[in-house]
Chain A
Amino acid sequence: EVQLVESGGGLVQPGGSLRLSCAASGFTFRDYWMTWVRQAPGKGLEWVASIKADGSEKHHVDSVKGRFTISRDNAQNSLYLQLSSLTAEDTAVYYCARAGHTNYWRGIGCWGQGTLVTVSS
């Protein structure tokens, strides 16, 4: 069974930092692009960042460039999102998701349950 389990969320003060982790199982992690998507309370979905299967290519939404960094450890089947210089606008549920395979695209087909990041003093 494919599983994605996020951790690392919590309450952080404005200007603070946090590292989100996503543990993957049930599929060959090193063969897939991985993605972070967030959802502010009561709002829609916002793509945050994606990373290629081998980690050689990364993309971030403009609003987080220079503050957030996506990374992965294929040996540990883990995805990460380093968050820094946090503001209240970053308060959201952060979802880890499996995107396309190296050889084919089938949509963002698997999602974790999400981890809540709250930025507040």
Chain B
Amino acid sequence: EIVLTQSPATLSLSPGERGTLSCRASQSVSSDLAWYQQKPGQAPRLLIYDASNRATGIPARFSGSGSGADFTLTISSLEPEDFAVYYCQQRRNWPWTFGQGTKVEIK
């Protein structure tokens, strides 16, 4: 099983600041990595697929990078609605796995 480790567990930032979230895989997942955003009481929302492709309707302030085992989700300038929990997920091997999540909170 591929283990995804996200860091930090919590990121405290102010609106307008840049957020950088990390996801590290226990072995290479090539570019088969996605990022999701989840707000309390809501279903997850796809942000990025294949490491760097923004999903339909996702603002340009969200960007993904990386390949192999190290990935980054960057939020260039945090908007109030971006404070949420973010998960990475790999589909390289079965079982698909998610990271444990990074909570982005208001500082």
* Interface residue ranges, A against B (CB under 8 Å): 35, 37, 44-47, 50, 59-62, 95, 100, 105-109, 111-114
Contacts and interface: CB of A to CB of B under 8 A. Distances in A.
B105 interface: no
B96 A45 contact: no
A69 to B, nearest CB: 15
Contacts of A45: 36, 38, 44, 87, 89, 98, 101
Contact of A47 (B46, B50, B95): B95
Contact of B46 (A35, A108, A113): A108
List 6 tightest A-B contacts by C-beta distance, closest first: A107-B49, A111-B43, A47-B96, A45-B98, A107-B46, A107-B34
Interface in B15-59: 34, 36, 38, 43-46, 48-50, 53, 55-56
A113 B50 CA distance: 24
Interface of B: 1, 34, 36, 38, 43-46, 48-50, 53, 55-56, 85, 87, 89, 91, 94-101
25 contacts: A37-B44, A44-B85, A44-B98, A44-B101, A45-B38, A45-B44, A45-B87, A45-B89, A45-B98, A47-B95, A50-B96, A59-B95, A95-B44, A105-B49, A105-B50, A106-B56, A107-B34, A107-B46, A107-B49, A107-B55, A109-B55, A109-B56, A111-B43, A111-B45, A113-B43
A108 B98 contact: no
Given A107-B55, A108-B89, A44 B49 contact: no
A106 B95 contact: no
Nearest to B47: A107
Nearest to A59: B94
B7 to A, nearest CB: 14
B65 to A, nearest CB: 16
